[in-house]
Chains A and B, each alone.
Chain A
Amino acid sequence: MSNQLTLYSLRHSLGLSRQPRHSSELEELNELLTTLVPPQAHPYELEEPHYTALQEKMAYAVGGRGLFATCPDGDFLFRLSSVRSVVDNVDGLTLSGIPKTDGDDTLWTAFNDGAIPDYEWKPLSRYVEGHLTGYRKITWWTGLELTQHEVVKSAFKMGRYSINIPVYALLLRCKTDHLRASGAIFVPTVLDAFDQEVFHPTKDDETPESGQTISLEHAGTVAVGVDEFVCTAIPVDQISFMPILIDATKRQGHRPVERGDDGWKLLESYYSAL
């Protein structure tokens, strides 16, 4: 029977062979799992104190040390984020005094100017200040255009389980011009995805232009997905956004690969074939 431990073992071996320059750090993180309390067999369902330990390791705390990626031809890269993730990872808010501690619903409504969403792209710099980053100093992006109608389907293509699709969401898009000029765009590494169950480790010696997702769009099968990138801090004036509520209604009508035995079996086959 497939389980997360099997997946992790496969992924770990793949990581060492496909991205050897990260081997020592990958081993370091692997060894750390056994020192956690209680020791963990895999990093896919860690608890809060475990993250504190991981954050003490540079390999985990600071992502985005992969090969330089080549920005795709389109004008934008896209990202699906929770409103909370944006709010927590920018320098400041300009939301009329609404604090970062406020509820996700309030913050999301503030990004909608107190109205229902008009599904227009708006400049992020009108609402927040500074740079956008993530809790590991990186954010994940794709060249796949994200739209309000297709967002759930796209999220599955991006390799997200439905439990990883936020409810109070912001679609983000970043100008590729900026990313090309700044060089702050990288191919995701096995370290970046250390605690992610679904990840396609690219081969460093093939000098890939981007990462590649594993699509979970259709139950019963996993397939090659879309391109993916990690970016280090991006100035918010290079980003526009569209608030979108992905509630129970919006999630209906899909039959994706679910997290659990069936999904793990599919992923095991996928990883074994690499």
Chain B
Amino acid sequence: VSDRKNFAEDIKPLKYSPSPALWDIEIRKLLRGVRAHIVRRHGGAQAYIELIIAESANADIARSTFNEALRNFVQEWQTAKPENEYYISSLLDLLIAYTPAAGSVKLLAHINQWGRFGKNVFIEGKTSLDLHFKALHTLQKYFPLGSQNEGAGSFGLRAYVGILKSHLSDPAYRGHALRRLIELDEVTPLSPEVLDAIKSDIEVLCDIIPPFLAPIKRAIAKNALALLYFHGLASGEDVNEQFRQAAKNCRARFEEGQNAPIIYTEDGEEIEFFFTPEQMESYSRFRLQQTHQQEITQLVHGLPDQSDIDILTSMIEAKLGVDAWDLEDLEEELESHGYHFMAPALPVVAPAVPTIYLPSGEPVPLSLQPSALDRYLLLHFSRDQNRLVQSFREKIFGWRER
């Protein structure tokens, strides 16, 4: 059975006569998990350190000697030396909380040399911790803002920016890297990095919208958010959902305004996205399309009531009066809910009417008005004509090559 000193006895010298040497020992105990019975209760390494300082006979001396001990400890830290996950995670907690000078250099150097932080860590059992991500968050505390200074002092910042840029191709860290590059004024919504990232993964918007809602970037928010919105729109994904979520994360509210989207910040500011007249037109068109989509979504949930089929029939008739691509959207939407909107069979194989197949496979013919039916047939067979031409071309070219 363990015969170590009890905590109350063990901590006494540190509480009553703190020194860097005693703190050094305490830091080691903390990182080895010896103090887990206190750390667990409060949730982390910083909470533990703050408790010991607050409970010390002289909190100022305790803090000063702790800072010195941590500086020395981090200075001597060899990041390549394998440690367990708890040790490294707790040490990163201390770096995040107290940012001892050598911490950033150690992390930057390690990532530069080995690519990812935390690969040389012993992990027992399951883990949900991403130590590399935590290391990136730690670096964020060392470089909260950019600098115009090109002197030697900016060397660390340049190295950090380089590391962030190297993470743009990694989906796991892309959002964080992009957000930080925006905060450091290294990229703007016009930068190709931003455009590429949104194109690959629209969820990155959740990371890169918040910096523009911060007071420091409010002046450019209207333009920046408008650009991000259109990048998102171009991806074809649900851009509004991303903006809604990002605003919510910042305790703000996103609304689709009449002329442009608006974000209402918690401090009462109204940020209406700045759109050019062309953008405004596209936005209106997008909203109209979205309204149709919502109507259809609501409707297909109710199918196959006859009344719903009738409403769907009139909706298709209305769409046939607009654009061909509108009909394709409708078909896609129905597909996504398990319905199949099928072209009519050739008149020789009756019945020659467009039919919706329910998820159960049951066909429900749609009774379109004669004019709508003509329009539908025209659209449908013109699409088929294109396909036929394409197919013929391929065959002809294939034959010539042989």
**Footprint of B on A, CB under 8 Å?**
3-4, 38-41, 44-52, 82, 84-85, 87-88, 93-97, 99, 101-105, 126-127, 135, 162-168, 195, 246-248, 251, 258-261
Interface of B is mostly: helix
Contact across chains for B250 and A82 when beta carbons are under 8 A apart: no
Give the top 9 A-B pairs by smallest Cβ distance, nearest first: A48-B33, A84-B43, A260-B8, A248-B59, A48-B36, A97-B210, A167-B50, A103-B97, A82-B42
Contact across chains for A44 and B37 when beta carbons are under 8 A apart: yes
Closest A residue by C-beta to B183: A97
Closest B residue by C-beta to A248: B59
- The CA of A82 and the CA of B51, in the complex, are separated in Å by 11
Contact across chains for B47 and A82 when beta carbons are under 8 A apart: yes
**Residues on the A chain within 8 Å of B214, using CB:** 96
Q: Which among B9, B50, B86, B92 has the greatest number of chain A C-beta atoms within 10 A?
A: B50
Contact across chains for B179 and A45 when beta carbons are under 8 A apart: no
Contact across chains for A39 and B1 when beta carbons are under 8 A apart: yes
- The CA of A167 and the CA of B156, in the complex, are separated in Å by 33
- B129 CB, min distance to chain A CBs, angstroms: 10
- The CA of A248 and the CA of B50, in the complex, are separated in Å by 9
**B44: which of A84, A99, A162 is its contact (CB, 8 Å)?**
A84
**Residues on the A chain within 8 Å of B47, using CB:** 82, 84, 104, 166-168
| Other A-B pairs, 14, CB within 8 Å; known A40-B2, A52-B125, A85-B42 | A39-B1, A48-B33, A84-B43, A85-B41, A85-B43, A96-B210, A96-B249, A96-B250, A96-B251, A104-B44, A164-B38, A164-B42, A167-B50, A258-B8
**B55: which of A48, A162, A195 is its contact (CB, 8 Å)?**
A162
**Residues on the B chain within 8 Å of A167, using CB:** 47, 50-51, 53-54
- The CA of A258 and the CA of B40, in the complex, are separated in Å by 20
- B264 CB, min distance to chain A CBs, angstroms: 14
Interface string of B31-68 (1 = CB under 8 A from A): 01110111111111011001101111001000000000
- B126 CB, min distance to chain A CBs, angstroms: 10
- B45 CB, min distance to chain A CBs, angstroms: 10
Contact across chains for B8 and A47 when beta carbons are under 8 A apart: no
- The CA of A52 and the CA of B126, in the complex, are separated in Å by 10
- The CA of A61 and the CA of B93, in the complex, are separated in Å by 25
Closest B residue by C-beta to A164: B41
Contact status of A94 and B6, CB under 8 A, knowing A163-B55, A247-B54: no
Contact status of A45 and B7, CB under 8 A, knowing A88-B43, A96-B210, A97-B210: yes
Interface of A is mostly: loop
- The CA of A94 and the CA of B33, in the complex, are separated in Å by 31
- The CA of A82 and the CA of B46, in the complex, are separated in Å by 11
- The CA of A105 and the CA of B93, in the complex, are separated in Å by 12
- The CA of A251 and the CA of B248, in the complex, are separated in Å by 37
**Residues on the B chain within 8 Å of A84, using CB:** 42-44, 46-47
- The CA of A163 and the CA of B14, in the complex, are separated in Å by 14
Interchain pairs with CB closer than 8 A, number = 129
- The CA of A261 and the CA of B59, in the complex, are separated in Å by 24
Contact across chains for B42 and A166 when beta carbons are under 8 A apart: yes
B395 beta carbon closer than 8 Å to chain A: no
**Residues on the B chain within 8 Å of A46, using CB:** 36-37
Contact status of A103 and B46, CB under 8 A, knowing A52-B124, A94-B250, A258-B8: yes
Contact status of A45 and B50, CB under 8 A, knowing A105-B97, A248-B56: no
Contact across chains for B33 and A41 when beta carbons are under 8 A apart: no
Contact across chains for A38 and B97 when beta carbons are under 8 A apart: no
**Residues on the A chain within 8 Å of B138, using CB:** 101
**Residues on the A chain within 8 Å of B41, using CB:** 82, 85, 164
B96 beta carbon closer than 8 Å to chain A: yes
Contact across chains for B2 and A41 when beta carbons are under 8 A apart: yes
Contact across chains for B96 and A102 when beta carbons are under 8 A apart: yes
B137 beta carbon closer than 8 Å to chain A: yes
- The CA of A164 and the CA of B250, in the complex, are separated in Å by 32
- A3 CB, min distance to chain B CBs, angstroms: 7
Contact across chains for A50 and B55 when beta carbons are under 8 A apart: no
Closest B residue by C-beta to A167: B50
Closest A residue by C-beta to B134: A101
Contact across chains for A49 and B54 when beta carbons are under 8 A apart: no
Contact across chains for B55 and A104 when beta carbons are under 8 A apart: no
In the complex, chain B residues 182-226 whose Cβ is within 8 Å of any chain A Cβ: 207, 210-211, 213-214
**Residues on the A chain within 8 Å of B36, using CB:** 46-48, 50-51
- The CA of A3 and the CA of B8, in the complex, are separated in Å by 11
**Residues on the B chain within 8 Å of A41, using CB:** 1-2
Contact across chains for B251 and A40 when beta carbons are under 8 A apart: no
Contact across chains for A47 and B33 when beta carbons are under 8 A apart: yes
Closest B residue by C-beta to A93: B249
Contact across chains for A49 and B249 when beta carbons are under 8 A apart: no
28 contacts between A and B (CB under 8 A): A4-B6, A41-B1, A47-B34, A47-B36, A48-B33, A51-B40, A82-B47, A84-B43, A84-B46, A85-B43, A88-B44, A94-B251, A95-B249, A99-B137, A101-B138, A103-B141, A104-B44, A104-B47, A104-B97, A162-B55, A163-B38, A163-B51, A166-B51, A167-B54, A251-B54, A258-B8, A260-B9, A261-B8
**A38: which of B2, B42, B248 is its contact (CB, 8 Å)?**
B2
Closest A residue by C-beta to B59: A248
Contact status of A259 and B250, CB under 8 A, knowing A38-B2, A84-B44: no
Contact across chains for B33 and A101 when beta carbons are under 8 A apart: no
- The CA of A261 and the CA of B7, in the complex, are separated in Å by 11
- The CA of A97 and the CA of B6, in the complex, are separated in Å by 41
- B93 CB, min distance to chain A CBs, angstroms: 8
- A82 CB, min distance to chain B CBs, angstroms: 4
Closest A residue by C-beta to B39: A48
- A1 CB, min distance to chain B CBs, angstroms: 12
Closest B residue by C-beta to A97: B210
- The CA of A255 and the CA of B234, in the complex, are separated in Å by 66
